[in-house]
Amino acid sequence: MQIDEHIRIAQRHVRDGERQIARQHDRIDRLRCKSLPTADALKFLGLLEEIHALQQQYLSRLLSKSTGSMAGAELSAAKAQVAQRGNELILIPDPVVRLALELEKELNEIKLAWSTAKPPKSRLH
């Protein structure tokens, strides 16, 4: 894959991240309008913003490399996790993997809490 293709993909990821952040802001606003808790939504927004910052940094590195030498166009294997799907190669920076694992752990804890919670007592009138 040429560096131009990497740049186009990174630009798409940055645009998608901006849309996801905007949607999360909308969700938080709706929760606040209904006086519902926003702590988890705000925490998730923070994760989205961190990932978006990493995507922007990666795009910046690609853009600077495209004007410089082509030799350093790929991330080093030590600094990235690599996922293979068909013929498509996806490089995922370590901080993104860490954030995803943290989010997965928290979601599993929430699922466990919900599954072990006692159902509310029904009130018969």
- The set of residues, in sequence order, having a beta carbon less than 8 Å from that of 48 and lying 6+ positions away, is 17, 20, 21, 24
Query: Per-residue pLDDT for the chain (125 aa), expressed as one digit of tens each?
Result: 788 888 899 999 999 999 999 999 999 999 999 999 999 999 999 999 999 988 988 888 888 887 654 444 444 433 444 444 444 455 666 677 777 778 888 888 887 877 777 766 666 65
- Beta-bridge mates of residue 90: 83
Helix 3-33 vs helix 39-67: crossing angle, to nearest 10: 160
Q: Is 85 helix (H, G, I), strand (E, B) or coil?
A: strand
Whether this prediction's pTM lies above 0.85 is answered by: no
